[in-house]
Structure 1
């Protein structure tokens, strides 16, 4: 018998004490010291574990053999990589959406109910599209027709425009004039469109001329454009951008999604439709 069996049996007998004699044939030298028996058991188990580790190590595949096997497997079905990439994209998008949802919830009413921002379209619309823009943003200029088309075709869309001047001092000055125009009794869209269709860089002068064309007083605008009331509206946009990690223009916000860049009218239209269908910009596939 093995030393382990003998030791275990002897250990049991020693522990049992006077419960009776137990004999093995052929009988080894009796071991009556419990500590000694336990030492034998521990030694045998230790040797067995070491042998198992050696056996496991010997079965490891050499990378020089394993890597070609993996490559052959992937080359045999290249769609595996495509499926992995798709799965990764889906997971990343889900994680980003969850981050956006959390950040948007934290911002709360500051995003949708702040004073001084511009509301276009249907104020009671069932879907709200927010755009953060800079008058000197070329991509915002290119995206202007997209917004115009959505407003024209969708009577249930609410659009919120937020001044987010980040490109230059001229952008900040034009935005200050824009804040005052938004608070005046004129058609803000006419002003907005005039600045984005003007030639060259949009400056304070550009904004003042466009505001004057709507009947506003240039003198009054210049006196008020640097007041705290105007600055606070723009500062609110900066704080929202910081909270949502928005760093560029245009940036759209629809439902639970923050959308950087001019993505085109079709993409915007689809996201708006999804909001109506399932309450999210991306509805689960059937």
Structure 2
């Protein structure tokens, strides 16, 4: 457009010069400077109109009327209702894959805190070839129901390593019981006996229940209660909270085996199958 303006200006200059020369040779000038300018402006206007007429037209964008489009979409879906099923399945697969990727990333980032924390409770074979981690709350009914599953696995599998993570999320009583449990874990008393006693007790598990179970193992309830506020106790429980937050763990029981986070009490058979797959292919579900 800039080049066109320059060309039109040049034409106007030539016309003005030619008209000026012609006027100088006329005996009686009938056209003055104002008339010349008018002629030049007319030429410019005609050239601009010609350029506009020959310029490529702007592409037109068709507007979509929802009143027309929506019935078409509805008709398409009604003609093949399974489209929605396929979309739903594809969405679930995508979300599941994304969640698995996030979980594996978080598991790798928190690997040492999950599997090698110095203050964690280890049952079974400390050198076992497969590790089962359980996050639990002493007032969790599902954890109570899953206790026999864990007992069976420990008894039948000499190469299984079990790590227990205190994860008190259900009540303040659960937190008090977990504090006592951490102290029992720091002692020479049998943690499994303490653990089993709390899950087989009646009613809500609180500080008094936990202290009584510890006393049955030969520990002083007075000393334990005085130590419940120690920073080391809070640090152990806080460590479980941090791991759970990073992995998206929000309930109990939750298990970790290899590359998989398993929410809920899935039963001994499912746990056995995943442990067997870990030994066979290094993952909880072999292809």
Aligned with residue 79 of structure 2, among 72, 84, 87: 72
2:133–2:162 Cα contact (<8 Å) kept: yes
Which ranges in structure 2 are unaligned for 5 or more consecutive residues? 1-45
Given the two structures, how large is their TM-score scaled by the length of structure 2?
0.74
Unpaired segments ≥5 residues, structure 1: 1-32
Contact 1:115/1:233 (<8 A) preserved: no
Match of 1:210 among 201, 208, 213: 213
Q: CA deviation at 1:137?
A: 1.1
Q: Deviations over 1:121-174 (max 9, x none)?
A: 111112211111111111111111121122222222211001111222221121
Segment drifting more, 275-284 vs 179-188:
275-284
Match of 1:125 in 2: 128
How far apart are the structure 2 equivalents of 1:221 and 1:247?
29
Q: TM-score, normalised by structure 1?
A: 0.74
Q: Which protein shows a greater Rg?
A: 2
RMSD over aligned CA atoms reads: 2.7
How far the C-alpha of 1:207 sits from its partner, in A, is 1.1
Aligned residues: 241
Counterpart secondary structure, 2:275: helix
Report the equivalent of 1:63. Answer: 70
SS of the residue corresponding to residue 57 of structure 2 reads helix
Q: CA distance change for structure 1 residues 41 and 239 in 2, over 3 Å: closer, same or farther?
A: same
> What does 1:25-44 align with in structure 2 at a 5 Å threshold?
39-42=52-55
SS of 2:205's equivalent in the other structure is coil
Equivalents in 1 of 2:86, 2:272: separation in Å? 28
CA distance in 1, matches of 2:141, 2:160: 25
Q: Give the equivalent residue in structure 2 for 1:239.
A: 242
1:228 paired residue among 228, 231, 244: 231
* Contact 1:135–1:202, Cα closer than 8 Å, also in 2: yes
2:185 maps to 182
Partner Cα distance (2:286, 2:48) in 1: 69
Instruction: Give the structure 2 partner of residue 106 of structure 1.
Output: 109
User: In structure 1, what is the Cα distance between the partners aligned to 2:47 and 2:266?
Assistant: 79
